[in-house]
């Protein structure tokens, strides 16, 4: 595998330097008048990489479902715990699809803290992600992080992308991350088929890290209104019940505690102590799980 991909085109080898975040500028080609799911999520997290249309849509979504900011925070915390857990099991390659706008606590930051030689490939269809990557290019020698502009709806193109092939050896275990992204893929777009293609490409011992929005812990009115608001955004919101989320894991074997409500996935070193959870955690309407390929 190549040590670095070429700087330019649609893939960039980077190492994040969070101290340089203030240098970032939005790309001129972005349509900032349409709410974008990644920038709305950034707003939920308290970030600054969002625009007026994103903030208005996000505030409307929060009015319909006040637990949204807490969901975003607990989802980010799940990502960190899951990456740390998987890296602790010896996985040194991660493919994070639908990563969104990079922020503190990202896959590469966590994975390379556990194992400095860990390789991470971010995949997103938003040019804001690649622009962020170039602005945050630091050239630090530890680890290796690549950014690919590609769409989850075209999994074969992701798997065959030269930058991914240069950074990741698919004959060895990989941590595949589909964190808060599949609820933007409709059933008619082949959501289950997409994940199966990705799962089938992974070597035994690989891990699937997945979280997904659900109507199971929200009121019918909140779920319906949130779905309506996202119709005007860059992608629809498809909330799935547990029975619609579990099949994404196929025959992979769940690590404990299995597929659970998002805040309950190993919140305290693998032990569930609700006293340690944030107020309002019961209203976080999403599932999360980690499973390994046998």
The two tokens of residue 250 are 């196929």
- Residue at token pair 């970032």: 24
Residue 104 pLDDT greater than 90, yes or no? no
User: How far is 12 from 25, CA to CA, in rounded Å?
Assistant: 17
Residue position matching structure tokens 């005007």: 232
The pLDDT-based confidence of 20 (bands split at 50, 70, 90) is: very low
Residue 75 has pLDDT above 90, yes or no: yes
| Domains of the chain (ranges, CATH numbers) | 11-17+27-264+279-292 (3.40.50.150)
Residue 7 has a pLDDT of 32
- Cα(first)–Cα(last) distance of the chain, in Å? 25
Per-residue pLDDT, 141: 43
Give the closest residue to 122 by CA, choosing from 102, 140, 148, 141: 148
pLDDT at 1: 38
Question: Regarding predicted confidence, which is higher, 136 or 227?
Answer: 227
* Rounded alpha-carbon distances, angstroms, from residue 15 to 132, 136, 141, 216: 11, 8, 8, 38
Report the C-alpha gap between 72 and 62 in whole angstroms: 11
Q: Is the pLDDT of residue 184 over 50?
A: yes
Residue 38 pLDDT: 81
Q: What is the pLDDT of residue 9?
A: 34
- Which percentage of the chain shows pLDDT scores above 90? 53
Confidence of residue 249 (pLDDT cuts 50, 70, 90): very high
Could you read off the pLDDT of 251-282 as tens digits, one per residue? 999 999 999 999 999 987 555 556 666 788 88
With beta carbons less than 8 A apart as the criterion, state whether 17 and 136 touch.
Answer: yes
What's the CA gap between 38 and 19, in Å, rounded? 21
- Give yes or no for a contact between 100 and 129, defined as CB atoms under 8 angstroms apart: yes
For 146-171, how does the pLDDT look when each residue is reduced to its tens digit (9 = 90+)?
Answer: 888 899 999 999 999 999 999 999 99
């Amino acid at each position: 595998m190549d040590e670095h991909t070429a700087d330019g085109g649609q893939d960039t080898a980077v190492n994040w330097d969070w101290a340089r975040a203030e240098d970032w500028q939005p790309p001129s080609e972005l349509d900032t008048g349409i709410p974008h799911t990644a920038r709305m999520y950034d707003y939920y997290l308290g970030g600054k990489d969002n625009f007026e249309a994103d903030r208005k849509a996000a505030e409307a979504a929060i009015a319909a479902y006040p637990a949204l900011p807490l969901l975003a925070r607990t989802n980010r915390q799940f990502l960190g715990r899951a990456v740390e857990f998987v890296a602790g099991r010896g996985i040194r390659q991660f493919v994070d699809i639908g990563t969104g706008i990079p922020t503190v606590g990202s896959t590469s930051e966590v994975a390379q803290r556990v194992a400095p030689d860990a390789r991470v490939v971010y995949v997103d269809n938003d040019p804001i992600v690649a622009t962020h990557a170039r602005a945050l290019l630091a050239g630090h020698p530890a680890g290796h992080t690549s950014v690919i502009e590609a769409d989850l709806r075209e999994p074969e193109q992701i798997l065959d992308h030269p930058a991914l092939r240069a950074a990741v050896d698919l004959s060895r275990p990989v941590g595949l991350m589909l964190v808060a992204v599949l609820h933007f893929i409709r059933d008619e777009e082949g959501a289950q088929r997409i994940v199966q293609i990705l799962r089938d490409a992974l070597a035994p011992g690989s891990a699937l890290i997945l979280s997904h929005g659900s109507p199971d812990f929200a009121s019918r009115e909140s779920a319906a209104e949130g779905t309506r608001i996202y119709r005007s955004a860059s992608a629809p919101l498809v909330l799935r019940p547990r029975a619609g989320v579990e099949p994404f894991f196929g025959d992979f074997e769940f690590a404990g505690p299995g597929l659970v409500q998002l805040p309950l996935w190993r919140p305290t070193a693998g032990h569930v102590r609700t006293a340690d959870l944030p107020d309002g955690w019961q209203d976080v309407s999403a599932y999360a799980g980690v499973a390994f390929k046998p």
